[in-house]
Amino acid sequence: MTEPLDTVDIAIVGAGPVGMALALALAGSPFRVLLIDSRQRGTWTSDPRALALSYGTRQLLESLGAWNVDAGTSIETIHVSQRGGFGRTLIDAADYDIPALGYVLRYRDLAASLDARIEAAQRLNGHEVVAIRLSSEAAEIMLTGGGGDTHRILARLVVHAEGTPANDAGVRVYDYGQHAVVTEVRPLAAHARQAWERFTPDGPLALLPLGPDYAVVFCVSSAQANELLQLDEEHFLAALRTSFGGRVDFVGCGPRASFPLALRIRQQLSTPRQVWIGNAAQSLHPVSGQGFNLGLRDAWELAEILRTRACSDAGEEATLAAYTRRRRIDRSGSMAFTDGLVRVFSNDLAPLRAARGLSLLALDLLPPLRHFVARRMIWGARAWP
Ligand SMILES: Cc1cc2nc3c(=O)[nH]c(=O)nc-3n(C[C@H](O)[C@H](O)[C@H](O)COP(=O)(O)OP(=O)(O)OC[C@H]3O[C@@H](n4cnc5c(N)ncnc54)[C@H](O)[C@@H]3O)c2cc1C
């Protein structure tokens, strides 16, 4: 059965953390906003990821009233090094006059705190977008629900926040040939709120303080990831020790899961009546934990432009053009930073290893250079002088 046409100003497709953040940032605006997700509410409770959120992200989440102070563990220092080569650098929150460089939070806790703030009238769950028909005035969105019923919504603007896109002509894909194996491990000694980023020829390995444990993001070739998932706990911890080196030891680990890693870049951030944010706009390698931080800034800036322009047509072309312009530097800077790190560090060539060691040493010995990198990670493009 086809239900009658519903009309809204803005339809956000995808109620992941980025879509939800946009809905919250638009609360109280003159726009009627509807947040649509193909999954039921709370499906995120099974997501195994932990995310490193920058201090700048904490500030934005606080403004949205969605900062979950109890669920996060602060990062006070970050130790960066490479396996099999010299050089290391230490980034310390004390140098930036902020209480922490960032926070580690489980995806599910982040989603739950955003979700708790969204009003029931604003959401439509269990409905998948099957087609969008565009006219000069509006977009007509066709949805199907679980019972096979169809639903139609007329929106002035469709915001795509459906997460990582499939291969399509509008998306450029670079497959890293890596998977991230994620789990939580118990360290032998307390972590003192220090995070570790260790570059290895197989891929980067991050240990992020989370409660008494470390959340692990262990990036390796796709074949190695399969093997790591099959190992029993003892052998998995042995593999982790081999990759990480002797600075930290582990006594136990939780369940493991893996994610394929590719860089996916949507070529055009907006087209008439449509705009893309978060992973739907760009999906990055998880090295240095940029993806959600960048996606939140997408949502924040889109809401800010929509509110400032406050015109009756949310999908006005000038608004979308302004959004695309405003996101250019932050977006390209974050993509180049993460992609560059993966490419430069994921190999074992001796001259490159030496050059990397010198770069890590330079970062450690030259505070202005280190501060530039740290500020870029904390605040994104807002950190440019
Ligand atoms: C292993 C790993 C570690 C990471 N670590 C970090 C980190 O430390 N720091 C960081 O900032 N980022 C990190 N990220 C990236 C971060 O997880 C993503 O950037 C973030 O989840 C993107 O949020 P999103 O809302 O755009 O997309 P998603 O979280 O993917 O949510 C998309 C939503 O859209 C819904 N949806 C999908 N298709 C449809 C449809 N057709 N119709 C309606 N709804 C639909 C889905 O059900 C889902 O709810 C990591 C990623 C991985 C894989």
The fraction of the chain above a pLDDT of 90, given in percent, is 67
Residue with the larger pLDDT of the pair 337 and 46 = 46
pLDDT score at 385 = 43
The ligand 1 atom at the shortest distance from the C-alpha of residue 278 is 26
Helices (H), 86-162: 107-115
Residue 217 CA to its chain's centroid (Å): 13
pTM of the model: 0.93
240, 254 contact by CB (below 8 A): no
The ligand 1 atom at the shortest distance from the C-alpha of residue 290 is 11
Task: Return the best residue to mutate from 35, 44, 51 for the ligand 1 pocket (most ligand atoms within 8 A of CB).
Answer: 51
pLDDT higher than threshold 60 for residue 123:
yes
The residue-averaged pLDDT of 97-125 equals 92
List C-alpha distances in Å: 287 to 4, 21, 88: 46, 23, 16
Residue 23 CA to its chain's centroid (Å): 17
Which candidate, 232, 216, 231, 209, places its Cα nearest to that of 180? 216
Averaged confidence pLDDT in the chain: 89
For residue 276, the CA-to-ligand 1 centroid distance in Å is 13
Residue with the larger pLDDT of the pair 121 and 2 = 121
Instruction: List residues bridging with 271 in a β-sheet.
Output: 274
pLDDT score at 381 = 55
The fraction of the chain above a pLDDT of 70, given in percent, is 87
The ligand 1 atom at the shortest distance from the C-alpha of residue 277 is 26
Instruction: With cut-offs at 50, 70 and 90, classify the pLDDT of residue 377.
Output: low
53, 68 contact by CB (below 8 A): no
pLDDT higher than threshold 90 for residue 95:
no
Top mean pLDDT of 3-7, 82-86, 297-301 is at 297-301
Task: Return the best residue to mutate from 110, 114, 182, 279 for the ligand 1 pocket (most ligand atoms within 8 A of CB).
Answer: 279
Distance CA 205, CA 312 (A): 48
Residue with the larger pLDDT of the pair 245 and 229 = 229
Burial of 146 (0-12, 13-18, 19+ CB in 10 A): exposed
For residue 126, the CA-to-ligand 1 centroid distance in Å is 17
Q: Which residue, by CA, sits nearest to atom 20 of ligand 1?
A: 292
User: pLDDT tens digits, residue range 49-71?
Assistant: 999 999 899 999 999 999 988 88
Show the domains of the chain with their CATH numbers.
6-52+109-170+264-340 (3.50.50.60)
pLDDT score at 1 = 47
Query: Over the range 192-224, which residues count as b (16 or more CB within 10 Å of their CB) and which as e?
Result: ebbbbbbbbebbbbbbbbbeebbbbbbbbeeeb
Instruction: With cut-offs at 50, 70 and 90, classify the pLDDT of residue 188.
Output: very high
pLDDT score at 137 = 93
215: left (phi over 0), alpha (psi -120 to 50) or beta: beta
The ligand 1 atom at the shortest distance from the C-alpha of residue 36 is 43
Instruction: List residues bridging with 102 in a β-sheet.
Output: 54, 75
User: pLDDT tens digits, residue range 203-221?
Assistant: 889 999 999 999 999 999 9
User: pLDDT tens digits, residue range 282-295?
Assistant: 999 998 888 999 99
pLDDT higher than threshold 50 for residue 384:
no
Q: Are strands 88-92 and 77-82 parallel, antiparallel or unpaired?
A: antiparallel
Neighbours of 250 (CB within 10 A): 20
Instruction: With cut-offs at 50, 70 and 90, classify the pLDDT of residue 366.
Output: low
Distance CA 59, CA 97 (A): 14
For residue 164, the CA-to-ligand 1 centroid distance in Å is 7
For residue 16, the CA-to-ligand 1 centroid distance in Å is 6
What is the CB < 6 Å shell around ligand 1? 13-19, 36-39, 49, 51-52, 128-129, 161-164, 180, 182, 217, 259, 278-280, 286, 289-293, 295
For residue 296, the CA-to-ligand 1 centroid distance in Å is 11
Distance CA 204, CA 342 (A): 7
For residue 359, the CA-to-ligand 1 centroid distance in Å is 32
The ligand 1 atom at the shortest distance from the C-alpha of residue 164 is 30
The residue-averaged pLDDT of 183-193 equals 96
Task: Return the best residue to mutate from 160, 162, 293 for the ligand 1 pocket (most ligand atoms within 8 A of CB).
Answer: 162
